[in-house]
Amino acid sequence: MDFHSKIYVAGHRGLAGSAIMRKLEEKGYRNLVFLSSKELDLRNKSHTDAFFEKEKPEYVFLAAAKVGGIVANNDYPADFIRDNLLIQTNVIDAAYRNGVKKLLFLGSTCIYPKFAPQPVNESSLLTGSLEPTNEAYAIAKIAGIKMVEAYNRQYGTNYISVLPTNLYGPEDNFDLETSHVLPALLRKFHEAKVNNDPVVEVWGTGEPRREFLYSDDLADAVIYLMNTYEGNQIVNIGVGEDLTIKALAEKVKEIVGYPGEINFNATKPDGTPRKLVDVSKLHSLGWQASISLHEGITKVYDWYLKKLIQQSAVAK
């Protein structure tokens, strides 16, 4: 991509997409195309086709997706498989039919088998059973990766797929029903601090291990790969380090400044026991994460507090 290339960021208001937008602008890219989901429903084929025919983007970052945590994935599997299949099918096909030079598809490391050897190498995809609570979303994302590969083979397109680990950052979802673990913990500990609650309940045993990637690091990685990587092989994007949910909860508690206790509710699901990705391929391609977990959580908490102040001002 050069600084005048027409670049479409699908899902620019989401966690990943908003970070990609910020990083593109920071790096000097100015010819950016984006529409909100209210302005363009990517689940609608005719609307998606019309957009691509009008705008003719040269590069596409496909970050638009229906995402959520354990509760949402478990409760709304039909929504997750339908919406994600529609979005990615419409965008990938429209990109091909309108001459897009390169497309980057964002998958997720949660699509790997539940008991894949750790750290999870790219070769583990489709080698075992999926995590049941996440199966609908995972199958949709796997289909997207295979669609990218199929278009490359049949039509000679230059599309790539990347698999980010657990993301967090500004514009994250803090809804306790649909959010992922880190923003959910931030909100829980903040509200407990404000309300002087003596205990915060955390789902599960606290023993599962997770890896977390700050969204600005993801954005830097995908722009780097868009400019440097070609091939049909997926690429993991992560930091190469993980920690237990218990250790994460303690870290969030410290950063928020919550003085109370933590109760782990073992009757609630843990999800996948461990999900650490092998980032040796990413490192060999010349990119490594730079934002520490403590620094990243501190930045997100600051952003969350500012958002609460803005919401309070609007309410008044």
Binding site members:
11-17, 106-109, 141, 164-167, 180, 188, 203, 210, 270
CATH 3.40.50.720 describes domain 7-315: yes
Q: Which has more confidence, 275 or 52?
A: 52
165-222 pLDDT per residue, tens = 999 999 998 988 777 889 999 999 999 999 999 999 999 999 999 999 999 999 999 9
Backbone angles phi, psi at 237, to 5 degrees: -125, 115
| Feature table: binding site for substrate | 188, 203, 210, 270
Tens of pLDDT along 142-155? 999 999 999 999 99
Domain ranges in the chain?
7-315
pTM, two decimals, is: 0.92
Closest CA to 213 of 275, 161, 255: 275
Contact 138, 114 (CB under 8 A): no
Give catalytic residues, as residue numbers.
137
Given a cut of 80, whether residue 126 has pLDDT beyond it is yes
Residues 76/81/84/86 CA torsion (nearest 10 deg):
-120
